[in-house]
Amino acid sequence: MATFARIDSNNYVIDVLVVADQETTTEASGIAFCQSFIGEGDFVQTFPDRSKRRRYAQIGDYYDPITDSFYSGNIQQNNTNPVRYINLPNNTSYCITYRNASSLFTGLIASTYFGKPFLQSQSVVNLAGIPTTPTPSGTPYVIVRDPIDRFISSYALQTGGVPAWLPVDQFIDWLIQQDKTMLNPHFMPQVNLIGIPAPDNIVYFDFAKDLTPMAEALGLPTPLPFVNVTDVSKKSELTPNQISKLQEFYADDIELYSKISIS
């Protein structure tokens, strides 16, 4: 059996059809069968194991023909628990700040302290079964990144939960209208992920130069591997106007990072 998503003129999924194997020796033959059964229209095959096109399509999803991928059409921002720390046995606490080497650190924490295999995977996979808390019990450590660089990396990731299919200019216009306290964690200001106010005695590290010292402080093994590195070809070149909008939106992060990067 194979599954095909029917796409409307705005690239949203309006129907999902399951087709018998004998009708789908190729994707093209499956599409031809769908068109003969339903009528003319655009159909794209979708895969339950998500081996292609990023997501198993559902009605209401968006299909981006540029990246040839499906995205959830539900982009309502409702992140009600943004502050997350992992308390470690060595009396340290790691603050999860997404797109700040979070895949690397959550993977190493999972393997070093929780007996899980080291997976070069995204944070959500590494964190499965690991308790987190909004209140650190040990000395809290956090990596902070230049906010513009972090945005470029997050946008290039094409993560779900946001309208990742939008061109960067339109995406920025969407972003700056959102409630910062409810945003997807990849785009939420780092100060919100750390906590407002920040925990007492928090220790900051600079993403640009302090990954190894951060790992050593948390008791993690070094040298560090490269994990979930952003494809440079997908990074956007921002215009001065786009940068200005982001600087205003991430003003608190810029102020924080300016203090850390010169220390």
pTM of the shown model:
0.88
Please list the ranges in the chain whose pLDDT falls under 70: 228, 263
Other Cβ atoms less than 10 A from the Cβ of 197: the count is 8
Residue 79 located in a structural domain = no
Residue 98 located in a structural domain = yes
Look at the chain and report how many structural domains it folds into. Answer: 2
Which among 17, 46, 71 is the end of a domain?
71
Residue 52 located in a structural domain = yes
Question: Cβ distance 106 to 119 under 8 Å?
Answer: no
Same domain, 101 and 12: no
Q: What is the DSSP letter of 76?
A: -
Measure the CA–CA gap between 90 and 127, rounded to whole angstroms: 19
Same domain, 207 and 122: yes
Instruction: List pLDDT tens digits, range 223-247.
Output: 998 776 777 788 899 999 999 999 9
Q: What is the pLDDT of residue 228?
A: 65
Domain hosting residue 36, numbered range: 2-71
Residue 76 located in a structural domain = no
Phi, psi of 15 (to 5 degrees): -165, 155
Measure the CA–CA gap between 45 and 32, rounded to whole angstroms: 12
Q: Count Cα atoms within 13 angstroms, Cβ side, for 221.
A: 8
Residue 212 located in a structural domain = yes
Residue 136 located in a structural domain = yes
